[in-house]
Structure 1
Amino acid sequence: MALRFLGIIPNSPDTDSPTIWLDEETGDLLIQSYTATEEEVKACKEIGSISGHSSDVPEHETIIRLPKVMLKFLPKPDSE
């Protein structure tokens, strides 16, 4: 796996550091960030996504909260 560091939340302390990496082989992002609260997960489930799709979060997935300041580290699609 060839990972490239993209960014870390500015001015983060040593123990609180949302971070983003890019898997250069697949283009996938690996994101370390804050775990969504139970209230946030409940709200996501209530809103859902597309009609007919389960709003449950499978055991192998999670919902995270990515701080707005981290958006600048997200790579642009190749078409842009």
Structure 2
Amino acid sequence: MPLLFIGIDPDTKTADSPTVWVDQDKRELVLQGWEPAPELHAECAAFEAPGHAVGIPDGEAVVRIPARMIDMIREACDVLQRADDH
């Protein structure tokens, strides 16, 4: 099944386009966002979470999503949750 488009940053003008999708087959949120500034990336990579190695593993990325997209992210979560209820 193709990705289910949920929404795009309402402040998108041209090339900036943080976007939210749902992959219903894999049961995942798919988020497109901005690359973080180097200092934010470094801060995330240095963060220590209990039970996890420090750093950003290969195959993972840090992205920034504007708060104005919260409703879209909630909608995407609701789509996945409704599928769990069936």
Normalising to structure 1: TM-score of the pair?
Answer: 0.80
Q: Does the residue aligned with 1:6 lie in a helix, a strand or coil? A: strand
Supply the AA of the counterpart residue of 2:50: I
Consecutive unaligned residues of structure 1, counting only runs of 5 or more, are none
Q: Percent identity?
A: 28
| 1:46-73 Cα deviation digits (max 9, x unpaired) | 332224x212112211111111111111
CA–CA separation in structure 2 for the residues paired with 1:6 and 1:28: 13
| Count of aligned pairs between the two proteins | 78
Task: Name the structure with the higher helix share.
Answer: 2
Q: Does the residue aligned with 1:21 lie in a helix, a strand or coil? A: strand
Consecutive unaligned residues of structure 2, counting only runs of 5 or more, are none
1:3 CA drift (Å): 1.1
Supply the AA of the counterpart residue of 1:50: P
Q: Does the residue aligned with 1:40 lie in a helix, a strand or coil? A: helix
Normalising to structure 2: TM-score of the pair?
Answer: 0.76
Task: Name the structure with the higher strand share.
Answer: 1
